[in-house]
């Protein structure tokens, strides 16, 4: 039965009352938070700072989320935890996701906070570029053998015999003047610079290594069943990363609590490296926002893996990721305005693609973005408000 038949003459009153209460509805009504489990790859550290910042600042709470951040480590296989539904979202890597797709894992990447992999190589002062690694002993971990080493070896025509196992102990590098080793820009470089200030670090991304750094990955069933929850989680997490880069103190307070081996000096260095190397807000994120992923980057990684024999050519790489959670869905009126099925349009922008908008000579919108306006939060608030408007109108109809 059509609800409008019940409303009758009181329809205008319903609309007026609903609109008058809209601000109060949005600001004062509490909603049950949606629970999510985020599983990290390692112990708490700056490389996860954006998520801890979102937790510490109440950003997840603001988006109606209750996020439980689970700590990883050397004995934790977070892909297994995701597939067994003990985690909803994990921090992982695009190369591993593509290998998962090759094995028919029901997974997808949903955002790439790290536009560049922090991975690189540490050398002594005599090495001035990656091209000068020929003849050097290079310490490579097991995971490196299946990721960056084939790329480095192929690009600079290195010999496979140059590679030796890296055991995450820096003493062989510091003691061997003809030795280079893999390193994270945000961790091992800190130790190396303290022990040998003249050492050099070369970020692979600067030389064209296409892989993203830590990306967010979930299961297909979570995407299908909880798209709004995932959208809010991604937006809240990217806001957390933005705030962490600006002032990481709140996030770091949780990191130090969760991992006593972390200290202010190391955390300050790590955040400084993220800023300096533009690991989070560089690349495509500079113009398209933190967390962005592009077809071109995924294809470049796929092509490298296929050429290196790390991935079967027939693997459907395009199913490894989705960009639907990166930006607000402005094509969908539900996320650009309010529409109540009982009382009709409340406020709707419909389909909108705004290149630029000027008011009194000042640009107030560019490429669908309004400065300082959080479209994802507005979208969520609008959706919740519509639900309440529907409930109120139906309740008043019954009374009438």
* Predicted confidence (pLDDT) at residue 377 exceeds the cutoff of 70: no
3-state secondary structure 123-139: ECCCCCCHHHHCCCEEE
Cβ atoms of 293 and 324 closer than 8 Å: no
Cα gap 362→107, rounded to integer Å: 44
Nearest of 247, 217, 227 to residue 376 by alpha carbon: 227
Confidence of residue 293 (pLDDT cuts 50, 70, 90): very high
Cβ atoms of 28 and 58 closer than 8 Å: no
* Predicted confidence (pLDDT) at residue 172 exceeds the cutoff of 50: yes
Q: Dump pLDDT digits (tens) for 117-164.
A: 999 999 999 999 999 999 999 999 999 999 999 999 999 999 999 999
Alpha helices (H) along the chain: 3-7, 11-20, 22-28, 49-56, 59-62, 78-83, 94-102, 142-145, 148-156, 171-175, 188-195, 220-225, 227-246, 249-258, 264-277, 285-288, 295-307, 375-399
Estimate to the nearest angstrom the gap between the alpha carbon of 236 and the chain centroid.
10
End-to-end CA distance of the chain: 15
Phi/psi for 350 (5° steps) reads 60, -150
Range name among 30-34, 173-177, 377-381 with the lowest pLDDT average: 377-381
Average pLDDT, whole number, for the chain?
A: 85
In the beta sheet, which residues pair with residue 357? 365
Cα gap 282→38, rounded to integer Å: 24
Question: What integer pLDDT is reported at residue 392 of this predicted model?
Answer: 76
Question: What integer pLDDT is reported at residue 371 of this predicted model?
Answer: 63
Question: Residue 134, by phi and psi: left (phi above 0), alpha (psi -120 to 50) or beta?
Answer: beta
Q: Dump pLDDT digits (tens) for 342-370.
A: 545 554 444 445 556 666 556 666 655 66
Question: What integer pLDDT is reported at residue 384 of this predicted model?
Answer: 72
**C-alpha pair distances (Å), 162 with each of 213, 283, 353:** 25, 31, 53
Q: Dump pLDDT digits (tens) for 70-101.
A: 999 988 999 999 999 999 999 999 999 999 99
- Structure pTM? 0.76
């Amino acid at each position: 039965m059509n609800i409008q038949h019940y409303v009758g003459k009181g329809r205008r009153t319903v609309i007026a009352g609903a609109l008058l209460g809209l601000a109060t509805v949005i600001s004062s009504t509490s909603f049950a938070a949606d629970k999510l489990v985020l599983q990290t790859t390692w112990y708490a550290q700056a490389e996860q700072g954006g998520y801890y910042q979102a937790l510490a600042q109440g950003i997840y709470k603001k988006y109606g989320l209750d996020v439980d951040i689970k700590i990883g480590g050397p004995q934790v296989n977070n892909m297994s935890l995701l597939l067994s539904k003990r985690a909803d979202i994990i921090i992982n890597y695009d190369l591993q996701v593509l290998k998962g797709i090759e094995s028919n894992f029901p997974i997808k990447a949903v955002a790439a906070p790290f536009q560049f992999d922090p991975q690189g190589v540490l050398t002594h002062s005599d090495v001035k570029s990656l091209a000068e690694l020929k003849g050097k002993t290079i310490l490579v971990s097991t995971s490196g053998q299946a990721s960056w080493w084939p790329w480095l070896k192929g690009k600079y025509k290195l010999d496979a015999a140059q590679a030796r196992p890296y055991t995450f102990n820096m003493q062989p590098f510091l003691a061997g003047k003809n030795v280079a080793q893999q390193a994270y820009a945000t961790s091992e470089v800190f130790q190396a610079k303290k022990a040998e200030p003249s050492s050099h670090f070369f970020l692979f991304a600067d030389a064209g290594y296409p892989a993203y750094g830590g990306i967010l990955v979930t299961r297909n069933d979570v995407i299908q069943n909880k798209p709004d929850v995932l959208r809010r989680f991604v937006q809240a997490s990217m806001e957390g990363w933005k705030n962490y880069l600006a002032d990481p103190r709140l996030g770091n307070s949780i990191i130090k609590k969760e991992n006593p081996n972390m200290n202010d000096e190391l955390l300050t260095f790590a955040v400084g490296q993220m800023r300096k190397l533009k690991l989070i807000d560089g690349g495509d994120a500079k113009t398209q926002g933190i967390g962005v992923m592009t077809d071109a980057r995924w294809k470049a990684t796929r092509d490298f893996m296929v050429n290196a024999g790390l991935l079967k050519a027939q693997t459907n790489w395009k199913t490894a990721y989705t960009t639907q959670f990166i930006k607000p869905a402005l094509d969908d009126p539900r996320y650009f305005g309010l529409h109540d099925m009982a009382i009709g349009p409340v406020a709707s922008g419909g389909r909108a693609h705004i290149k630029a908008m000027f008011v009194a000579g000042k640009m107030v919108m560019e490429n669908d973005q309004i400065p300082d306006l959080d479209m994802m939060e507005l979208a969520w608030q609008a959706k919740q408000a519509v639900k309440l408007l529907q409930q109120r109108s139906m309740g008043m109809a019954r009374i009438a």
